[in-house]
Amino acid sequence: MGAHEIPDEYRNHRKKYIDILIKEMIPAVAEEKLAVFCDVFCEKDVFTVEESERILLTAKAHGLIPKLHADELHYTGG
């Protein structure tokens, strides 16, 4: 559930957190078979459409099934 919220310590460093998700967390989760899905929350003040797409494409490339929660609270185009 790393892509459901940006931790407080990364609020001002979103790109850094997304890079950690993409380069470290997703590959490790997939390699260890800790999950089947990669779930992203595409919403205002969480992940943008572009960030969500980047995360989900990475997850798919690592064999995880993409899941998207979008526009539940605000319309973002997700």
Q: List the chain domain ranges.
A: 8-70
In degrees to the nearest 10, what's the CA dihedral of 54, 58, 61, 67? -80
Q: Which two tokens stand for residue 43?
A: 């919403």
Mean pLDDT, residues 19-37: 97
Each residue of 32-51: pLDDT tens digit?
999 999 999 988 888 999 99
- The whole model's pTM is what? 0.84
- Ramachandran region of residue 35, left (φ > 0), alpha (ψ -120 to 50) or beta? beta
Of 3 and 20, which is predicted with more confidence? Answer: 20
CB 66 within 8 A of CB 40: yes
Over the Cα atoms of the chain, what is R_g? 12
